[in-house]
């Protein structure tokens, strides 16, 4: 018997893999490059291999027409103007996500700082609501705070990813550690699909494509790249290139041809 969660997961992933653009930056950083008009970017990329987007509820409500891809509504935010930018607060409920027609819920959880306990509580309670409503939960699990000397330390990343799974997330988004061996161990010790974050804008297109190839080789189920897609000169071409790696097991060098 198919569950509601499985039906919705099938909308935000394709054959168990994910190519997603997180576009929730408008609350934290404002209308940054590439997100002046989120709808334009969504419609430009949706026919090129993209499986889903992560957007805030106000953007979802303002879309001129329903997207052809899965949508996750992001319900935790802070701003760069705050005295506590790492303190993410809830901005919606799972019931609201259902009413909006979303296919999933996304939360951002920072581990390693003084704000951690509050966000862990938010994660646990939201996971409970998601399970009741059959709504997939993607947890953005970041090592970030006063107690994190190196956010890419494999032991720390592994712990942070496991926290997301232990608290009930259906998909965990976290940082790539930088090498296949260490990340493959993290994938094996996390009992839900892992997708990787893109981080700051990469220096070259090949850099982000190579990181994608390595992460997929290590067992990641996909990527959630923001600036490296929406701030690209040709975001739809970057989506095509990433799709080549994620869904067709292409190499980074082969995928570069999609951009060039």
pLDDT digits (tens, 9 = 90+) for 103-146: 999 999 999 999 999 999 999 999 999 999 999 999 999 999 99
Count, residues in the chain: 260
Q: How confident is the model at residue 199 (pLDDT cuts 50, 70, 90)?
A: confident
* CATH class of the domain at 4-259: alpha beta
Q: Is 182 annotated as a binding residue?
A: no
Of the residues 24, 170, 205, 214, which is catalytic?
24
Q: Is the CB of residue 246 less than 8 Å from the CB of residue 229?
A: no
How much is the average pLDDT of 6-23? 97
Residue spans per domain, the chain:
4-259
164 near 123, Cβ under 8 Å? yes
The DSSP code sequence of 63-122 is -SS--SSEEEEE-EE--TTSS-TT--EE---HHHHHHHT-SEEEEEEEESSTTHHHHHHH
227 annotated as belonging to a binding site for a ligand: yes
Q: Known binder of ligand: residue 198?
A: yes
pTM exceeding the 0.95 threshold for the entire prediction: yes
- Report the percentage of the chain scoring pLDDT > 90: 97
For the question of residue 24 being annotated catalytic, the response is: yes
Write phi, then psi, for 52 (nearest 5 degrees): -165, 165
25 known member of a binding site: yes
For residues 230-253, average pLDDT: 97
pLDDT of residue 87: 97
Evaluate whether 43 touches 74 at the Cβ level (below 8 Å): no
The mean per-residue pLDDT over the stretch 80-87 comes to: 96
- pLDDT surpassing 90 at residue 201: no
88, 92, 125, 118 alpha-carbon torsion, rounded to 10°: 20
16: annotated binding-site residue? no
User: What does the pLDDT average to over 66-85?
Assistant: 97
Which of the residues 88, 103, 170, 173 is marked catalytic?
Answer: 173
Measured CA to CA, the distance from residue 71 to residue 63 in angstroms comes to: 12
Does the annotation place 24 within a ligand binding site?
A: yes
DSSP state of 197: E
Strand partners for 195: 173
- Which of 49, 18, 24, 28 is CA-nearest to residue 170? 18
- Cα atoms found within 13 Å of the Cα of residue 84, Cβ hemisphere only: 10
Known binding residue 151? Answer is: no
Active-site choice (142, 170, 214, 221): 142
> How many other C-beta atoms lie within 10 A of the C-beta of residue 251?
13
pLDDT above 90: residue 200: no
Q: Which residues contact 138 (CB under 8 A, 6 or more apart)?
A: 54, 72, 104, 105, 106, 107, 169, 170, 171, 172, 173, 195, 224
- pLDDT for 1 equals 84
């Amino acid at each position: 018997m198919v569950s509601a969660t499985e039906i919705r997961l099938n909308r935000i992933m394709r054959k168990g893999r994910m190519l997603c653009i997180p576009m929730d930056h408008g609350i934290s950083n404002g209308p940054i490059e590439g997100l002046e008009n989120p709808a334009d970017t969504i419609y430009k990329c949706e026919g090129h291999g993209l499986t889903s987007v992560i957007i805030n509820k106000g953007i979802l409500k303002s879309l001129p027409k329903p997207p052809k891809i899965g949508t996750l509504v992001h319900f935790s935010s802070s701003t760069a103007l705050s005295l506590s930018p790492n303190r993410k607060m809830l901005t919606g409920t799972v019931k609201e996500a259902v009413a909006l027609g979303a296919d999933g819920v996304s939360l951002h959880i920072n581990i390693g700082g003084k704000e951690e306990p509050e966000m862990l509580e938010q994660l646990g309670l939201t996971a409970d609501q998601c399970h009741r409503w059959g709504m997939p939960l993607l947890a953005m699990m970041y090592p970030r705070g006063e107690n994190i000397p190196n956010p890419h330390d494999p032991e720390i990343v592994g712990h942070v990813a496991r926290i997301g799974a232990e608290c009930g997330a259906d998909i965990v988004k976290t940082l790539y550690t930088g090498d296949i061996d260490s990340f493959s161990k993290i994938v094996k010790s996390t009992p839900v699909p892992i997708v990787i974050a893109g981080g700051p804008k990469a220096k070259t297109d090949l850099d982000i494509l190579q990181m994608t190839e390595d992460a997929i080789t290590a067992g990641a189920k996909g990527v959630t790249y923001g600036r490296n897609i929406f701030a690209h000169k040709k975001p739809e071409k970057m989506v095509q290139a990433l799709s080549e790696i994620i869904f067709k097991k292409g190499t980074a060098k082969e995928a570069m041809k999609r951009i060039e």
